[in-house]
Structure 1
Amino acid sequence: MRFPMPFAAPPAVVVAVMLLCGLAAVVPVSHPWAQETAGFVSTIEDLPLMPGLIEEEGGMVFDSARGRIVEAFATGPVSEGAVRAFYDETLPQLGWRPLGQGTFRRENEILMVEFPGGPGAAPPLTVGFRLMPAAH
């Protein structure tokens, strides 16, 4: 009884397939900035993080007799206008009342959305979030 010879690919094809598989394992599918971050700022549990922003490590939380003081930062390839529009639309739905550009109040707390790089900062844009007790 004679068995057919198994298929043998030419060595060049085998090498090409191995290289392509290796590249697929090394090349990222998308840049981290492109990933949607449908989450919340870790130090301000009920503050949504705008898609496109990634929270930086090292936020500060301080509890005082008057209330909590929190500072957090996030960075991403977004515009200041897009950030303002997102928070102007989203925060009132969560009970935050606008007081002025980038400033909101809810109960006894003030939230400020700021841009430490100044107006017209080059991307990636850094966004600062400051939460503090409201002066009665």
Structure 2
Amino acid sequence: MRLVLAAVLSAALLLMAATPGLAGPAEPGFVPGVEDLPLMPGLTAPANDAIVFDQPEGRIVESAARGDVSADAITAFYTQTLPQLGWRPAGPGRWAREGERLEITATRDGAGRQAETMVRFVLRPQ
């Protein structure tokens, strides 16, 4: 009986590992330095590449990410996502929440297959 139970458990673990979504949801990425700002899928950012200052007036964070994603797709992602996190639009590429302002800019680097979009995130007190 023990052998059968071990075989069933092993098969279940193998199935979970081989089937995306059954082993649990993947951890979403976040913008380095801003633990509650999601990083759009398709963008990558080095974990230690953010500049972070904590001061009594609030935090200042400058971070960047890049990927083969269009600036329009980036704008659409953050326009849909940020209001769910309490951010209010405050102008093109600008957001406000609880005494903080966030600016997101996206610029395309390079041409052809080498092209990537560089996204800059700046968080400051209002």
Q: Normalization by structure 2: what TM-score?
A: 0.70
5+ residue gaps in structure 1? 1-35
RMSD: 1.7
2:37 to 25, 28, 47: 47
**In 2, Cα distance between the equivalents of 1:81 and 1:40?**
20
Matched-pair contact (CA < 8 Å) for 2:32–2:49 = no
Task: Name 1:90's counterpart in structure 2.
Answer: 81
**Residues 110 and 68 of structure 1, relative CA distance in 2, 3 Å threshold:** same
Structure 1 residue 87, shift from structure 2 partner: 0.2
Q: CA deviation at 1:39?
A: 1.3
Counterpart of 2:122 (choices 117, 121, 130) is: 130
Could you list the runs of 4 or more consecutive aligned residues of structure 1 that deviate by over 4 angstroms after TM superposition?
none
Structure 2 counterpart of 1:109: 100
Q: Which has the larger radius of gyration?
A: 1
* Cα drift, residue 37 of structure 1: 8.0
Identity %: 49
Gaps of 5+ in 2: 1-25
Letter in 1 for 2:96: R
* 2:13 alignment partner in structure 1: none
Cα offset for 1:63? Answer: 1.1
Equivalent in the alignment of 1:60? 51
How many residues are paired up? 96
Shift of 1:114: 1.1
* Matched residue type, 2:34: I
Tell me whether 1:77 sits opposite 2:68 in the alignment: yes
Whole-angstrom CA distance in 1 between matches of 2:74 and 2:54? 27
Does the residue aligned with 2:33 lie in a helix, a strand or coil?
A: coil
Residue in 2 that maps onto 1:23: none
Q: Matched residue of 2:49: which SS?
A: coil
Residues 98 and 53 of structure 1: is their aligned pair in 2 closer, same or farther, counting only changes over 3 Å?
same
